[in-house]
Amino acid sequence: MQIIIVGCGNVGGTLVRLLLAEGHSVTVIDTEEEIIGDISNSLDCMGVVGNGTSFQVLRDAGVEQADLLIAVTPGDERNLLCCLIAKKAGVQHTIARVRDPIYKREIGYIKEELGLSMVINPEEAAAVDAARLLIFPSASSIETFAKGRAEMVRVKLDAHSKLVTKALMDLPQDLLSGVLVGTVQRGEEFFIPNGRFILREGDEVSFVGSRRNITRVFKNLGLATARVRSAFLIGGGDTGFYLAEQLLSMGIRVKIFERDRKRAEELSENLPDALIINGDGTEKELLLEEGLKDAEAFVALTNLDEENIMLSMYAGTVSEAKRITRVHRVSYDEIIGAMDLGSIIYPRNITANRIVRYVRGMVGSGQEGLESLYRLADGKAEVIEFRVNGACAVGGKPLMELKLKPGTLVACIIRGTEIIIPGGRDEIREHDNVIVVTTEKIRSLKDILL
């Protein structure tokens, strides 16, 4: 497909790399000549210097031949205007990043009136992920499928776990009943395990199944399953606001530390049930005075990655709080992997992955809808949910008769309200949702076959 990306910041740059890897032709527009020069020289894409709201600039980028335009500049209004002009120029699909909470209640109207294919809010998406983790604090990450009916929950194993030093096939049958061990990450290595796989201390393991069954398995393993009751949020920006809204609605007590007085007053007005502290959340004395040692959750949401990392490390030394750390620069991945920072949220990855899912769904099979897509281990593997809308190449046959590509696993079948952890005799049927874990790039269910 011919894709135009307007704005080449953190999200735009990530999108360029991901979409080129998917085999698409990408043109980038940005007002900074140096940025365009760097990305067009280092990657196989065309760059145009200019304002994406200019019709002439869009024409220079090939808007009249484009299949999709994605606007991810820092300005919401600019993104919406880019999409509107592109739509008038004949682009069928447009995606806009819109971040300001002021648009939240109107986003459905804006999307419909401007004919947008998707509106993505990175801060709200990051807040949703963080809230999910605070409901299930033992998890390091949680992904949902089939509108929440199934989940993939990742957890790091310690030396005392009942799972370590044992092959999966030798574990007691009732220990993991109703769930599947879908993936294992061991340092830089990534595995889709079989029954002979032996788990080790430090492995990050993903369980796939229903929330009820995963909760039961966590209890079997002695892991906490109760939601937190109180949370410290360091930074009262948009992500902090969205997260506080969600936590308060669930009855969780919230303290927000915001150093800017005007912003603190805005938060106090819009979040009357939260305790807003106008102070520097990076000051240890203030955190201790406000009860950090007894906090059940600590979320570092400042605008500086370095501050968030140091805050999470400090919180881990003085409390047992569930920690969540927001990091913008994915280039820190290798360093961060060796640190104890709790759960890490990358807003630009969340945004880019959702857009890539939409793009891949555009070129997928008409009989199968791509519902969800999550990239794991820096893209070494993916977890993909397909909706079977009609007859498909893998349907109606027992899984044991299908010749799957190496590194590919049918992890779960959702059939109505039934969550099936499939065995060899199970089969995929019309209207099923199917979760596939794979190290291959697949666009449809038929791609899982050799």
CATH number at residue 259: 3.40.50.720
For 366, phi then psi, to 5°, come to -70, -20
Distance CA 186, CA 410 (A): 21
Let me know how long the chain is.
450
Residue 91 lies in a domain: yes
Q: Are strands 25-30 and 2-6 parallel, antiparallel or unpaired?
A: parallel
* Calpha distance 403→178 (Å, rounded): 25
On whether residue 410 sits in a domain, the answer given is: yes
CA atoms within 13 A on the CB side of 348: 20
pLDDT at 349: 85
Domain total for the chain? 3
Whether residues 421 and 367 fall in one domain: yes
* CATH number of the domain that residue 387 is part of: 3.30.70.1450
In a domain, 89, yes or no: yes
Residue 294 lies in a domain: yes
Residues 361 and 304 placed together within one structural domain of the fold = no
- Do 323 and 394 lie in a common domain? no
Nearest CA to 239 among 301, 194, 170? 301
Domain assignment present for residue 381? The answer is: yes
pLDDT, tens digit (0-9, with 9 covering 90-100), for 70-86 = 999 999 999 999 999 99
Average pLDDT over residues 127-154: 93
Q: Are residues 418 and 313 in the same domain?
A: no
> Any idea what the Cα angle at residue 315 is, between residues 337 and 322, rounded to 5°?
75
For range 91-100, the mean pLDDT: 93
Domain coverage including residue 45 = 2-120
Residue 415 belongs to some domain of the structure: yes
- Based on the domain organization, do 369 and 331 belong to the same domain? no
Last residue of a domain, one of 87, 120, 153: 120
- One domain, residues 339 and 367: no
Domain boundary among 66, 93, 120: 120
Query: Would you tell me how many other CB atoms lie within 10 Å of the CB of residue 200?
Result: 13
3-state secondary structure of 373: strand
Answer for the pair 243, 127: CB distance below 8 angstroms, yes or no: yes
Among 81, 101, 120, which residue terminates a domain? 120
Least Cα distance to 234 among 289, 279, 265 occurs for: 279
Same domain, 341 and 360: no
Q: Of the given ranges (71-80, 246-255, 330-339, 385-394), which has the lowest mean pLDDT?
A: 330-339
Q: How confident is the model at residue 337 (pLDDT cuts 50, 70, 90)?
A: low
Q: Minimum mean pLDDT among 50-54, 192-196, 330-334: which range?
A: 330-334
Q: Does residue 8 share a domain with residue 106?
A: yes
Residue 196, in any domain of the structure: no
Residues 275 and 363 in one domain: no
> Based on the domain organization, do 309 and 360 belong to the same domain?
no
Are 267 and 294 part of one and the same domain?
yes
Q: Give the pLDDT band (50/70/90) at residue 188.
A: confident
pLDDT in tens, 33-90: 999 999 988 998 999 999 999 999 999 999 999 999 999 999 999 999 999 999 999 9
Same domain? 337 vs 366: no
The pLDDT of residue 158 is above 70: yes
Decide if 182 is inside a domain: no
